[in-house]
Amino acid sequence: MLLFLLLVFLPAVPIETEVVETLTDCPGYFVEETPPEIPDILVGGNILNRTRYKVICQTLEDTRRFLTLYDTKNKIPVFSAYRFIGAQPGRPKEDWKIEPQLEDTNDDINMRLLEDYTTILDNQAVDSDYRNNQSYDRGHLYPSSHAPNESAKLSTFTLTNAVPQSRTFNSGNWSQMERCTKCLMEHYCIRNRTVIEAFVVTGAEQSDEKLNDKMNIPSRMWSAFCCNRTDGVWMSKAYWGHNVPNGNVTESSHEEMTTNFGIQIFPPLCSVRQKSQDKTTLCKKKCKFLTPSVPPADKDETSEKTTFPPNTTPTTTTPPTTTKMTQPTTSITSRSVIKKKQEDCEETEDRNKKEIEEEENNMEGEESIMKRVFII
Ligand SMILES: *[C@@H]1O[C@H](CO)[C@@H](O)[C@H](O)[C@H]1NC(C)=O
Ligand SMILES: *[C@@H]1O[C@H](CO)[C@@H](O)[C@H](O)[C@H]1NC(C)=O
Ligand SMILES: *[C@@H]1O[C@H](CO)[C@@H](O)[C@H](O)[C@H]1NC(C)=O
Ligand SMILES: *[C@@H]1O[C@H](CO)[C@@H](O)[C@H](O)[C@H]1NC(C)=O
Ligand SMILES: *[C@@H]1O[C@H](CO)[C@@H](O)[C@H](O)[C@H]1NC(C)=O
Ligand SMILES: *[C@@H]1O[C@H](CO)[C@@H](O)[C@H](O)[C@H]1NC(C)=O
Ligand SMILES: *[C@@H]1O[C@H](CO)[C@@H](O)[C@H](O)[C@H]1NC(C)=O
């Protein structure tokens, strides 16, 4: 009889929820499934206040995309975590979505547009909360530029993945950092010499300030990645900056993040330090604005070689300083492969600049019309 009752009533209970109870219910986004340690919030994998902090297994088109630990009081994420597997170029024009299950756990598993929603949202920010203040963007934690395909890009446009971020910080050194880490991960995080894979966690530190009396304006933001390199050695890098106009981004290590922020982002295996870990020659250009500057390239080619996928093994570590319009003149040498890659990178940078302008153009209201006039 009991079994019968269970069978009858179980289907009424939602089997799938994407606002899940614990981080382990949303696997695949942390190095060795080990989540960060964030004092007073997340300790030993346990969320200390489960009323306030919600684990969102970010889902779009019935596919899980990434993970966010969301602070329903501050109405901003604590962090978003994702697996970087290489990225497609382009940025979709997209309306921002919300997370239905933060309001009603029986609602649909997929993030969706606000207009499809009829009740008032108590537990999260909505798009209109970000309007009327030109100083702050809806700053992505998991950026669209790090997503592998169109649907994955669309999934990053959810407000539970955004914080009020100083506009010039977002479009300046923070976006520079995103280009830099994308380049580093694509060149160095090649698992088993075949697949790009890195684990990234990006977070925001709460302050005492609010935007529109609703969302907390984070004082600092941080981002770190860890991966098992081609040669089987783990590598990690961390970056952080103050969320202020024209804010700078400082390169750090995940160990320094413990000293500086009191958080531990990755498990100890990401701490393995090797001399060659600092070789970021290929991405030097993309990382050039970051402080402290990337160590100068040394010419230790032999150990450098081991960090590249076979078909891009460089014959030189000196990046050409020619303009991006120069065509590779050498025949099919690895030098031209590298050169080609760098041209791709430069195109990406130009495209990103265009995207930033487009995003500014897309702002709602009269200011955007004025802005468009200025840009054109
Ligand atoms: C947990 O968070 C809720 C909502 O922010 C708050 O009302 C409650 O006091 C918190 N509980 C503890 C033990 O801090
Ligand atoms: C896009 O990438 C995700 C991984 O984030 C994958 O699950 C999904 O199948 C991909 N979609 C397409 C259309 O390739
Ligand atoms: C980034 O910060 C550096 C100083 O660290 C500054 O010189 C540079 O102009 C900034 N870049 C942008 C795009 O804001
Ligand atoms: C590594 O890649 C090779 C093919 O290049 C494949 O045969 C092997 O199964 C892969 N190993 C792992 C652990 O994925
Ligand atoms: C934007 O928000 C900040 C922080 O709340 C506030 O200091 C500033 O006055 C706001 N600007 C406008 C134009 O509302
Ligand atoms: C890193 O990857 C290599 C090659 O795939 C593998 O042999 C090694 O066990 C991995 N290292 C760790 C610590 O898992
Ligand atoms: C960024 O760094 C540059 C150079 O170190 C400095 O001049 C500038 O004031 C910094 N910007 C901010 C907002 O701290």
CA 100 to centroid of ligand 1, rounded, Å: 21
Q: How far is the CA of 211 from the centre of ligand 5 (A)?
A: 7
158-175 pLDDT tens trace: 999 999 999 999 999 999
Beta bridge partners of 240: 222, 250
Q: 157: Cβ–Cβ under 8 A, 6 or more apart, which residues?
A: 92, 94, 95, 96, 97, 140, 144
Residues facing 79 on adjacent strands:
69, 203
State the distance from the centre of ligand 4 to the C-alpha of 229, rounded, in angstroms.
Answer: 14
Are 32 and 267 in contact by the 8 Å Cβ rule? The answer is: yes
Cβ-contact 98, 221 below 8 angstroms = no
How far is the centre of ligand 2, averaged over its atoms, from the C-alpha of 149 (Å)? 6
Q: Which residues line ligand 1 (CB under 6 A)?
A: 49, 51-52, 73
* Residue 278, C-beta contacts closer than 8 angstroms, at least 6 positions apart: 294, 295
Does residue 248's CB lie within 6 angstroms of at least one atom of ligand 7? yes
| Ligand 1 pocket mutation, candidates 47, 49, 53, 69, criterion most atoms within 8 A of CB | 49
Residue 86 near residue 103, CB atoms below 8 Å: no
**What distance in angstroms lies between residue 148's CA and the mean position of ligand 4's atoms?**
21
State residue 189's pLDDT score. 94
Could you give the C-alpha distances from 86 to 27, 83, 161, 190, 202, in angstroms and in order?
A: 19, 9, 19, 10, 17
Of 276, 279, 275, 253, residue with least CA distance to 266 = 253
Q: Is the CB of 148 under 6 A from ligand 2?
A: yes
Pick the CATH number of 15-292 from 3.40.190.120, 3.10.590.10, 3.90.190.20, 3.40.570.10: 3.40.570.10
Contact yes or no for 260/240 (Cβ under 8 A)? yes
Q: Which residue has the tokens 């700078």?
A: 248
- Going from the Cα of 74 to the center of ligand 7, the distance in angstroms, rounded, reads 28
In a 3-state reduction of DSSP, which class is residue 174? helix
Residue 360 Cα to ligand 5 middle (Å): 18
CA of 318 to the centre of ligand 5 (A): 46
Is residue 152 in contact with ligand 2, taking CB distance under 6 Å?
yes
- Ligand 1, atom nearest to 49 Cα: 1
Closest CA to 359 of 177, 76, 161, 167: 167
Looking at the CA of 165, which ligand is closest?
A: 5
pLDDT of residue 16: 58
Handedness of CA 237, 29, 142, 197 (dihedral sign): positive
Phi, psi of 162 (to 5 degrees): -130, 150
pLDDT at 194: 87
User: What pLDDT was estimated at residue 278?
Assistant: 54
Residue 31 contacts residue 226 (beta carbons within 8 Å): yes
Strand partners, 228: 234
247: Cβ contacts below 8 Å, ≥ 6 apart: 166, 168, 169, 172, 173, 174, 241
Angstrom distance (rounded) from CA 120 to CA 103 = 9
Question: CA gyration radius for the chain?
Answer: 22
* Res 246: pLDDT: 96
Ligand 4 nearest-atom number relative to CA 192 = 1
Q: What is the DSSP code (8-state) at residue 170?
A: I
SS3 content of the chain, % helix, strand, coil (to 5): 35, 25, 45
Dihedral, CA atoms, 66, 69, 72, 78, nearest 10 degrees?
Answer: -110
From the CA of 169, the nearest ligand is 3
Ligand positioned closest to the Cα atom of 190? 6
Distance between Cα 135 and ligand 5 center (Å): 7
To test the pocket of ligand 4, the residue of 85, 190, 192, 196 to mutate (highest count of ligand atoms within 8 Å of its CB) is 192
CB distance 175 to 246 below 8 Å: no
- DSSP three-state, residue 289: coil
Residues of the chain whose pLDDT is less than 50? Answer: 1-15, 276-277, 293-376
What residues contact 267, with CB distance under 8 A and at least 6 apart? 31, 32, 34
Distance of alpha carbon 218 from alpha carbon 29, whole angstroms = 23
**pTM, rounded to two decimals:** 0.78
Q: Is the Cβ–Cβ distance between 173 and 241 less than 8 Å? A: yes
Question: 245 C-alpha to center of ligand 7: Å?
Answer: 10
User: Which of 246, 290, 357 is the best mutation target for the ligand 3 pocket, counting ligand atoms within 8 Å of the beta carbon and taking the most?
Assistant: 246
Q: Do 38 and 78 meet the contact criterion of CB atoms below 8 Å apart?
A: yes
List 223's β-bridge partners, or say none: 202, 239
The best mutation among 246, 250, 288 to test binding of ligand 7, ranked by most ligand atoms within 8 Å of the C-beta, falls on 246
